[in-house]
């Protein structure tokens, strides 16, 4: 089973740390990152999709994706 997450955050080091933490926990990058202007906050926002293959497990929507 493959899990999918879209990580988002401000254009700063916290976003890079979020992606690095996911990679450290076995998630893989999926596709290109995205970068867009958030007019409501007046700041740039980043996004990166990640996927993780789970073997012998079923999807549990009650768990946070980062915990699976």
55 is in which domain, residue-wise? 2-60
Dist CA 22 CA 28 (whole Å): 8
Residue 52 lies in a domain: yes
Q: Which residue has the tokens 């497990």?
A: 57
Tens of pLDDT along 33-68?
999 999 999 999 999 999 999 888 777 888 777 776
Q: What average pLDDT does this structure show over 14-35?
A: 96
Number of domains in the chain: 1
Q: Read off the pTM.
A: 0.84
Check residue 61 and give its pLDDT: 83
Is pLDDT larger for residue 9 or for residue 56? 9
3 state DSSP class of 40: coil
Residue 11 lies in a domain: yes
Residue 7 lies in a domain: yes
Q: Give the H or E element holding residue 33.
A: strand 28-38
Residue 65 lies in a domain: no
């Amino acid at each position: 089973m493959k899990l999918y997450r879209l990580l988002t955050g401000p254009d700063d080091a916290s976003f890079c740390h979020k992606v690095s933490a996911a990679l450290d926990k076995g998630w893989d990058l999926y596709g290109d990152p995205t970068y867009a202007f958030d007019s409501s906050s007046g700041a740039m926002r980043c996004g990166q999709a990640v996927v993780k293959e789970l073997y012998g497990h079923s999807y549990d929507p009650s768990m946070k994706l980062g915990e699976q």
